[in-house]
């Protein structure tokens, strides 16, 4: 079916979003068309403001309105711990937990030779510079995802940081709280055994 050009452009724009196929893009486009004018303007302004007002923190790489960001500027944060994550959304998840009071460093991706992403394509060089400048950091906690790319990135960082004599740790993985062993897959059980702690 041929759509009027503005609708076709809107559908195409929605299809550029991750996980949005043609059917969902069409549904979202027609939902947008049915919205009242004020809601559409608010939506458009929110999109515009996101690109116009946000920047990356020059210290950690997190998204922020002010540089440095709120976390890097907070003198009450534990300056000795640095949690390395893949994306800014990971910081939001960790902050929601309210148990970690250290600093963050956002890589903006992971090493992925299949996609042509090497060390120069993610935020590693600024991490090295940061560790060289800040002697207060005693531990780097690597919190990349439990994927082959996340594991490869963690291993690369651990090898890279070892000569600096900074403690490098990785988030524990394995059985989730409240889960039954009988329903866990082999890799989850393996990681649970590997990451066991003394009682």
Q: Which domains does the chain have, with CATH numbers?
A: 5-53 (1.10.8.420), 75-180+187-192 (3.40.1360.10)
**pLDDT number for residue 125:** 95
Whole-angstrom distance, CA of residue 118 vs CA of residue 111: 5
How many angstroms separate the CA atoms of 107 and 91, rounded? 11
pLDDT at residue number 173: 78
What are phi and psi for residue 82, nearest 5 degrees?
Answer: -130, 115
**13 CB burial (10 A radius; 0-12, 13-18, 19+):** middle
Q: What's this model's pTM, rounded to 2 decimal places?
A: 0.82
Task: Classify the C-alpha dihedral 179-184-187-190 as positive or negative.
Answer: positive
Predicted pLDDT of residue 155: 94
Burial of 174 (0-12, 13-18, 19+ CB in 10 A): middle
* pLDDT score for 199: 47
Cα–Cα dist 140/127, whole Å: 10
Low pLDDT (below 50) residues in the chain: 199
């Amino acid at each position: 079916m041929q759509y009027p050009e503005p609708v076709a452009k809107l559908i195409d724009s929605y299809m550029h979003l991750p996980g949005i196929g043609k059917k969902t893009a069409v549904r979202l486009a027609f939902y947008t068309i049915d919205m009242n004018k004020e809601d559409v303007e608010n939506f458009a302004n929110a999109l515009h403001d996101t690109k116009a007002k946000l920047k990356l923190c020059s210290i950690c790489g997190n998204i922020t309105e002010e540089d440095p960001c709120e976390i890097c500027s907070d003198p009450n944060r534990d300056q000795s711990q640095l949690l390395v994550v893949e994306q800014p959304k990971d910081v939001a998840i960790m902050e929601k937990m309210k148990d970690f009071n250290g600093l963050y460093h956002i890589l903006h991706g992971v090493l992925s030779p299949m996609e042509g992403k090497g060390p120069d394509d993610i935020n590693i060089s600024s991490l090295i510079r940061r560790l060289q400048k800040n002697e207060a950091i005693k531990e780097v906690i690597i919190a990349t995802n439990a994927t082959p790319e996340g594991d490869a990135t963690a291993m690369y960082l651990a090898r890279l940081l070892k000569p600096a004599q900074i403690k490098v740790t990785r988030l524990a993985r394995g059985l989730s709280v409240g889960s039954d062993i009988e329903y866990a897959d082999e890799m989850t059980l393996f990681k649970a055994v590997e990451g066991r702690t003394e009682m």
